[in-house]
Amino acid sequence: MAHHGPSEPLPATIYHYTSGLALVQILETRKIWATHARYLNDRQEFAFGRAAVSNALLAAADRVAVRPPSDDLDDSPRQVAEYLRGLAVTDGLAAPFVACFCTEPDLLSQWRSYGASGYSIGFDAGVLADIPAPQRQVLLGDGYWDELPGVGNHPPPVLMPVRYGEEGIQRVAAEVEEVYGALPAVPHASNSTEVPLFAQSSLAAVKHGAFEEEQEWRLVLQSQHMRAEYRTDRRSTLVPYYSLSFPREAVREIWIGPDMHEGAEASLKRFLADHFHNQNIDVRLSDAPYRQ
């Protein structure tokens, strides 16, 4: 299972709020989009707390650097500390890609943000935590990408909870150190890669405390050696994303938004019968007191 943070239990179900058009696309293709963190709906999300996060990572780097190596060949304290320092002073151009979820299926603030005429798809969190990353690729020239045979897949997405406010920033820094401390001494190469990947992913999982009601989880994907797809947003900006495939059993339930047509339940059940026959997916109606 992909690492989702030290001692952090997975919720049973997490929910993705979306439009009807996106619902059809997600369920027909069994793919969910992980969007570049700089192009999230709230454009300030990835920038939140950068100074505080940087200071916390620098402090963590100092503590990692003075840890004694496991033996004469173990250079991981220096390597990890150098990476964390570099991550702290850069502007995050290598930002990860994220798919966003909520622990609440029928949250009024989410319906207001994503549209009350929409849906909330309930996914089995344990299944999502095990989905693989796309195949590694290499740019061969003339804009042609090809898979890297024999190299294996990219590190899988990480399912992790969002941390909120100053307390969340400090918790992220502490978890980076905890992940490093839990690694085995050998092989040494893993000690200098797993921690940086976790630290980079954590930067995309910190938000302002005003959003804490959402209790958000994010599926975070690093993007080295993979060819992105592109879509346009409402401002016609080209937004990079990756498609992450999930098995059909990942879908547990679907909630219908509070401002939907009275026939929405019947049509959704018919759609599910056509595409997920012999699979029991609960359909529920929102109780949120939505007013236009």
The string of pLDDT tens digits covering residues 208-225 is: 777 788 889 999 887 665
Provide the pLDDT confidence category of residue 277 given band limits of 50, 70 and 90. confident
Query: Within a domain: residue 234?
Result: yes
pTM of the shown model: 0.79
Query: Within a domain: residue 6?
Result: no
Identify the pLDDT of residue 265.
94
Query: Within a domain: residue 3?
Result: no
Residue 96 amino acid letter: P
Are 95 and 211 spatial neighbours (Cβ–Cβ below 8 Å)? no
Give the Cα separation of 165 and 214 in Å (integer).
13
Query: Within a domain: residue 290?
Result: no
Query: Within a domain: residue 82?
Result: yes
Identify the pLDDT of residue 112.
85
The residue range of the domain holding 101 is 13-285
Give the Cα separation of 172 and 5 in Å (integer).
9
pLDDT tens-digit readout, 140-158: 555 555 555 545 556 788 8
Give the Cα separation of 148 and 128 in Å (integer).
25
Number of domains the chain contains: 1
Give the Cα separation of 24 and 88 in Å (integer).
40
Show Cβ contacts of residue 194 under 8 Å, excluding neighbours closer than 6 positions: 3, 179, 183
Q: CB-side exposure of 236: number of CA atoms within 13 Å?
A: 0
Give me the residue label for tokens 């500390």.
81
CA distances from 250 to 13, 76, 94, 158, 163 (A): 9, 37, 29, 16, 25
Query: Within a domain: residue 1?
Result: no
pLDDT tens-digit readout, 235-254: 888 989 989 999 999 999 99
Query: Within a domain: residue 247?
Result: yes
